Structure 1
Amino acid sequence: MGRSQELSEFTRGTMIGCHLCNKSIHEISWLLNFPRSTVSGIITKWKQLGTIATQPRSERGQRMLKCTVCRSC
């Protein structure tokens, strides 16, 4: 199965805004009509990276390769 289109920065920001207003992942999912796994993934990445901007795919692959090789993450 191929990847779908990336979410817009506005949509990701809306999810984070709802999260900051103490909405649950289930509520955000229902309000914005996205799967819970998508909402959860956006919130988790925001907590880890501190940004909602997408990273280039090449950097994602390099980071995963580094974690696999060094196993210190």
Structure 2
Amino acid sequence: MQTASTNICERMGRSQELSKLKSGTVIGCHLCNKSIREISLLLNIPRSTVSGIITKWKQLGTAATRSIRPCKMPERHQHMLKRTVRRSRQLPAKSIAKDLQTLCGLQISKATVCRELNGKCFHG
């Protein structure tokens, strides 16, 4: 006879992740003062997974399974970057990086400029 946790481990494997809904449900149950064991039995998830989700939520404040890279540039500098590119779209990223360094006093590389522009749907 297989237990619930064995059954889910066979289905999930180590490479798959829980959906956002299940992770959110784990956090919701935790906030309702359910124990890890109760959450595990209720959602048919291994206790180690439940514990890991709760620990990650406590440390990072999010139950997201994949981390999102934080933005290196403050919002006001991003605005200046967009304005500079809209004025002249033919500027190379290296000269944009130099302009931002002189205007803002911000150490920024060509790669960061390219990444930020691609994130703002300026490609090319």
Equivalent in 8, 20, 27 of residue 9 of structure 1 = 20
1:55 and 2:66 aligned: yes
* Deviation readout 1:14-70 (Å, 9 max, x if unpaired): 0000000000000000000111000000000000000111235xx7xxxxxxxxxxx
- In the alignment of these two chains, the number of paired residues is 56
- Which ranges in structure 2 are unaligned for 5 or more consecutive residues? 1-12, 70-124
Query: Of the two, which has the highest radius of gyration?
Result: 2
Local SS of the residue matching 1:44: helix
Matching residue of 2:75: none
Output the CA distance in 2 between the equivalents of 1:50 and 1:30: 24
Output the CA distance in 2 between the equivalents of 1:23 and 1:5: 25
After superposition, where does 1:1-73 map in structure 2 within 5 Å? 3-56=14-67
Q: State, as a whole percentage, how many aligned pairs show the same letter.
A: 79
Output the CA distance in 1 between the equivalents of 2:15 and 2:43: 17
- Segments ≥4 residues shifted beyond 4 Å: none
Which residue identity is paired with 1:22? Answer: N
Higher RCO (C-alpha under 8 Å, 6+ residues apart): 1
Given the two structures, how large is their TM-score scaled by the length of structure 2?
0.42
Q: CA RMSD in A?
A: 1.6
